[in-house]
Each structure stands twice: as C-alpha cells, then as structure tokens.
C-alpha cells in the first residue's frame, strides 16, 4: 500500500474510529483503500479473539464482528438481538439512512461495550 493510500485510511481511523485503539485496545491488522472505487475501504482491527471489520461500499459504512464463539455477525444484527432496534429508510439513491460514516462511528462507540459483552457471553 503506498503512503498516500495509507494516509487516507489513517485519517479515516483517526477521525472516526480512534476510540477502538485508544480506549479499547484494538490493533489495526489490515487496511485497504480503493480511491478509484468511490473511496471504498476495508479496515480490520483485532483484540484477543475479537475482530472488527469496518468497510465502506458506495458511501455506506458497515461494521462486522468475528470471534470463534460467535462466528461472523454484523453490528446491526447483534444490536437487534439485544433489543436495540433502529429504523432505516431507503433514500432516493437506493441506499439506506443510518449507514453514514459519522453515524456508524457514533453508534459503534455508544454500543461497543454492550456488543463486546454479548460476544464474550456466547
């Protein structure tokens, strides 16, 4: 990965997801950036046996968790199982509300402790 691409991904991590490394002790294990494809990216972080994958596809950000006991599960499914429901609405472009990077960052920070407790309980 060239320095420009690394710098772009590091900016994203520092601006939106720094709490994962500074407050929760996750380590960035891989990062990919695709400037030619709408600025899509994939960031993988890991701590103990929990891996978080943050990806942007067509401007929407998705967050998935993996652990040996859980397998792979997306953040939204975990939260629904914990009784935290959100309404998502389609936009005129065919995408969905609530998946903007700033909203996903805030949402993850707000619910990360609950999600990690859920994973550890599996």
Determine which of 44-48, 84-88, 97-101, 118-122 has the lowest per-residue pLDDT on average: 84-88
Q: What pLDDT, on a 0 to 100 scale, did the predictor assign at position 30?
A: 95
- With beta carbons less than 8 A apart as the criterion, state whether 72 and 62 touch: no
- In Å, how far are 30, 33, 37 from 110, measured between CA atoms? 24, 26, 30
DSSP H or E run through 10: helix 3-16
Report residue 94 as tokens. Answer: 């065919």
Measured CA to CA, the distance from residue 32 to residue 106 in angstroms comes to 22
Domain spans of the chain, in order of start: 3-121
- Within 1-122, strands assigned E span 27-34, 40-47, 50-57, 60-67, 71-74
pLDDT at 68 over 70: yes
The pLDDT tens digits of the residues spanning 1-52 come to 556 667 888 999 999 999 999 999 999 999 999 888 888 999 999 999 999 9
The answer to whether the beta carbons of residues 12 and 55 sit under 8 Å apart is: no
pTM above 0.85, yes or no: yes
């Amino acid at each position: 990965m060239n320095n420009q691409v690394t710098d772009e991904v590091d900016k994203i991590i520092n601006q939106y997801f720094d709490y994962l490394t500074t407050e929760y002790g996750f380590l960035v294990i891989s990062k990919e950036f695709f400037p030619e494809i709408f600025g899509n990216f994939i960031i993988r972080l890991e701590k103990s046996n929990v891996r978080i994958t943050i990806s942007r596809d067509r401007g929407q950000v998705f967050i998935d968790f993996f652990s040996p006991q859980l397998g792979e599960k997306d953040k939204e499914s975990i939260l629904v199982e914990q009784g935290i429901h959100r309404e998502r609405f389609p936009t005129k472009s065919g995408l969905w509300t609530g998946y903007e990077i700033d909203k996903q960052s805030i949402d993850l920070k707000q619910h990360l402790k609950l999600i990690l407790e859920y994973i550890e309980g599996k």
